Amino acid sequence: MLFSLNVMDEVEDRFGSLDKLTDALNGEGRMKNVRWLFTLLLNEGAADNEEPLTEKQVGKMIHGGNMAEIQNAIYKSFALGNRGTTEPPAEEDEEPDEDGDDSGGEGEEEGKNAQAGKEE
């Protein structure tokens, strides 16, 4: 799943603004909105040569037993797209990493999206 600028643009077109996303995923039309957004996120994160999923195919993956998990995955994807991490901002009392600082190691996987496109 990838919450990219392309997805943000689609969400704004559909709901008016990103601020309305939570209401759209919990209010009227919730099921259709979850299916639509989950499909969009999965297709955006897929490899370029992969066949895009349809909403009907994605709808078969979602059921009452995993709806909350799907919504949480959507919110985490949104957080990763906005902050570069699914975790909340770090507290001051973090332990230093191997090189003695607490800024995060070079080998960490999370946060790479946040660094992409930044000039050194």
57-75 pLDDT, tens digit per residue, is: 999 999 999 999 999 999 8
What's the mean per-residue pLDDT of the chain? Answer: 80
Reported confidence tier of residue 85, pLDDT bands at 50, 70, 90 = low
Residue 21's pLDDT is 87
Phi, psi for 39 (deg, rounded to 5) = -60, -45
**Euclidean distance between CA atoms 89 and 65, whole angstroms:** 30
In the 8-state DSSP scheme, what is residue 26? H
Reported confidence tier of residue 108, pLDDT bands at 50, 70, 90 = very low
- Alpha helices (runs of H) in 16-92, residue ranges in sequence order: 21-26, 30-45, 55-61, 67-83
Of 23, 15, 5, nearest to 78 by C-alpha is 5
31-56 pLDDT, tens digit per residue, is: 999 999 999 999 999 999 999 999 99
